[in-house]
Amino acid sequence: MTTSSDDILAGLLAECSDLILAGATVRSCLDHYPEHVAALEPLLTTLAEVHEMRAVPVRSAAAAAQTREQFMTAAVRLSAEQQQAPATWWERLAAWWAGFVALLTPPAGGWSLPRGMPVGLLATMIIVILAGVLVTGGVTVSAKSLPGDFLYPIKTTTERVQLFITRDPAARNILEQKLSGRRIQEAKAVAEQGRTLASLPLDGTIEAINGDNWTVSGLNVTLDPSVQILGNPALGARVRGVMRAPGDGRLIVFYVEVEAPTTGLVSAAAAANPTATPTRRAPTATPSFTPTATATADALAADSALNRPVQHWREPDDWTPAAPTATPTAIPVRTATRTPRPTRLPTLTPAPTSTLHPDLPPARPQITLRIEGWVERIEGSRWIIDGTPVNTNGATQIIGNPGVGWEVSALVVQETDGSYTALQIAALAPPEATPAPVEFTDILESMDGEWWTIGGTRVKIRGDTAIVGDPQVGDLVKMTGKRHQSEIWAERIERIFPLFEFGGIISAVSGSSIVVDGYTVLIDSQTEIIGTPEVGRVAEVRAEKMDDGRLIGKKIVVGPPLPPPTVTATRQPTPTPTSTPSPTPTPTSEPTSTATPEPTPTPTSEPTATVTPEPTSTPTSEPTATVTPEPTSTPTSEPTSTTVTPEATPSPTLEPASVRNVGADGLTESCAVNRAVR
């Protein structure tokens, strides 16, 4: 085959493949290019076979939600990192190199040369690998570096790459612990050497609390008087934060976030009751408060054992989630996360039950938390962020000049009266120029007036919201709408039903239904029909199955007409009852075809009326004996044996006559007017 003929065939294949993807058959495509049938047919047959195998299982809502939650957690963390630590040019360069060198490190299975790799490219890569070897030396040397050293960024970046490529959870956990221990050792070394550093990471477990002096994983640190603490410090809790080394051997913590205790001195009860974190389905940044499970009694016992005064925070008496979405709901598809990491996702950590320690005054009575969301309005010094009033004062730091409609992140302090005072309000994103479209599919969890909760996200039902399929709590629904600042306004909520795909011969067609392979498929305005549905043709159907068993067609692809059957007037109709759950209508047509339709049930339907009983007795490939449902048909009219037209497709052999209202929504309002009589 010449190159030019290859080009021609490639072009024809592209055209035909488009047609086949649109529902055409191989044969109909070949008819367009009879001179290329020999070359095209095997190719088209192959791609048609591939195309038939394209069905994908429905993605697990629970798994999808968990994946999204992990992503959003990482995204928020990344955002915080980038805002906190803008890298210098040489840090970026070092990071780039370290990542590049890591990429050049052979994987466990060794390299395999990709097929078709140009020799030039291979040569270039070899040179780069050699250069990388030189740099790898820098990575090795950097292993002993300390914060502040020139090579230290290479060390940390290499570690990040190590973490990134370690996918096994157990191995990753071990590596994380190892790296955490390395940070602690580095901080110790920095303090011992009297180095001065403006920023050092803190990551470890609280082993002792003595006033403002804490011991974290063996590292003695001092809290800065102005420290902002997120979370509830308790023995055994994991803390992350930032500290500085003033050069006098001390380590001063000026920012700290505390996770719920999970190990060591933590009670089993706390560990056994993981905090259910409400998941934000859409990135609406609605404040969601997460009460952290802590076990005060056990912590007390541990405190007593250590014989040290321990700070306990006072739980606000009137603590209630401020935002409607704050209530952690038990959603079947949600997975309770063990310990929510303090991130920029707003989390509120109320103190454990202070009633157990009435004699211990709270050393740090303030509770800080972050609220992310859209600024709904600004009333003087009071900002309403996603429905939560936040007071500002002269000390409030406003970053980025946010205003109404902006997405902001507010660091707030909860006052004793339960109100919030902002320490800082930082702009995250400007107002949306146009309402952002929102679309997701999830479980309908509650229907509270105009507010429905779908997959943890509240959406507003408005007068013009289209509600399709009568969704109820627990149903899977698809929501499409628009985000208006902090609210999502639903435009359409449609119940999603299980999809079924099947194919077969069309045995009956009407304006509102089609019978394929013995199954009656209802047609509505959403049904996509490709090709001309006619009795005797082959059709592939994708349909939703309702609770009552009805099938609502979503896509019907009709094949070309089969060779016309030989029909004779004396041919006996041979209805073949299909296997159905309860074939109540009994086929009664007799070989003599002398059925005399009784005129008593007055035909009230249009000529398009179709008998669509579920357990229909459906003739398949055989010529179908039909009665043309003329309203004026006389009782003595003979059933005419003919091919069925879409306008007249009543099944001829149903007894007794029935009037079925198949669809309450008017999909099929058909009347059976034929009764076959022996």
Partner 1 sequence: MSLLNWMVWALSFAPFNVIKGDNAVRTENPEQQALLERASRAEPAALGALYDQYADKIFTYIYHRVGQAEVAEDLTGQVFMRMLEAIRSGQGWRSSFSGWLYRIAHNLVIDYYRRRGRVTLVDIDDATPLRATHGDPVRSTETLLDREHLRAALFQLTEEQAQVITLRFMEERSIAEVADLMDKTEGAIKALQYRAVLALRRVMQS
In the set 2, 86, 108, 632, which binds partner 1 (CB under 8 A)?
A: 108
Number of H helices and number of E strands within the chain? 10, 26
Q: How far is the CB of 443 from partner 1 (least distance, A)?
A: 16
Nearer CB in complex with partner 1: 475/606: 475
Q: Which of residues 530-559 bind partner 1 (CB under 8 A)?
A: none
Nearer CB in complex with partner 1: 136/527: 136
In the set 37, 121, 269, 664, which binds partner 1 (CB under 8 A)?
A: 121
Query: Counting contacts by CB under 8 A, is residue 582 touching partner 1?
Result: no
**Taking the CB of residue 564, how many other CB atoms lie within 10 A of it?**
9
Residues binding partner 1: number (CB under 8 A)? 80
Query: Counting contacts by CB under 8 A, is residue 581 touching partner 1?
Result: no
In the set 214, 289, 313, 519, which binds partner 1 (CB under 8 A)?
A: 519
Query: Counting contacts by CB under 8 A, is residue 14 touching partner 1?
Result: yes
388-401: burial string, b at 16+ Cβ within 10 Å, e else: bebbbeeebebeee
Binding mask 279-308 for partner 1 (x = CB under 8 A): ---xx-x-----------------------
* Whether 369 contacts 347, CB under 8 Å: yes
Q: Which of residues 391-450 bind partner 1 (CB under 8 A)?
A: 407, 428-429, 436, 439-440
Where does this chain touch partner 1 (CB under 8 A) — which range of 68-76, 176-184, 387-395, 611-619? Answer: 68-76
Q: How far is the CB of 164 from partner 1 (least distance, A)?
A: 6
In angstroms and rounded to an integer, the radius of gyration of the C-alpha atoms of the chain is 36
Identify the burial level of 272 via C-beta atoms within 10 angstroms of its C-beta, where 0-12 means exposed, 13-18 middle and 19 or more buried. exposed
Q: Which of residues 146-205 bind partner 1 (CB under 8 A)?
A: 164, 167
CA neighbor of 70 nearest in space, from 423, 340, 467: 340
Q: How far is the CB of 541 from partner 1 (least distance, A)?
A: 9
In the set 32, 71, 404, 567, which binds partner 1 (CB under 8 A)?
A: 71
Q: What is the DSSP string of 581-599?
A: S---SPP---TT------S
Structure tokens given for 676: 């076959």
Q: Using CA atoms, how far apart are residues 447 and 471, in angstroms rounded to an integer?
A: 10
* CA 419 and chain centroid, separation: 34
Cis bond upstream, residue 603 (ω within 30): no
Helices assigned H by DSSP within 61-217 = 61-84, 89-104, 119-142, 152-165, 169-192
Query: Counting contacts by CB under 8 A, is residue 135 touching partner 1?
Result: yes
Nearer CB in complex with partner 1: 43/208: 43
Q: Which of residues 617-656 bind partner 1 (CB under 8 A)?
A: none
Where does this chain touch partner 1 (CB under 8 A) — which range of 141-149, 286-294, 301-309, 497-505? Answer: 497-505
Where does this chain touch partner 1 (CB under 8 A) — which range of 122-130, 184-192, 460-468, 531-539? Answer: 122-130
Where does this chain touch partner 1 (CB under 8 A) — which range of 69-77, 304-312, 350-358, 507-515? Answer: 69-77
Q: Using CA atoms, how far apart are residues 445 and 447, in angstroms rounded to an integer?
A: 7
Nearer CB in complex with partner 1: 75/179: 75
**Sign of the alpha-carbon dihedral angle for 13, 16, 22, 25:** negative
Q: Using CA atoms, how far apart are residues 263 and 312, in angstroms rounded to an integer?
A: 19
* Whether 49 contacts 41, CB under 8 Å: no
- Torsion angle, CA of 19/21/27/32, rounded to 10 degrees? 10
Nearer CB in complex with partner 1: 120/380: 120
Where does this chain touch partner 1 (CB under 8 A) — which range of 49-57, 173-181, 390-398, 658-666? Answer: 49-57
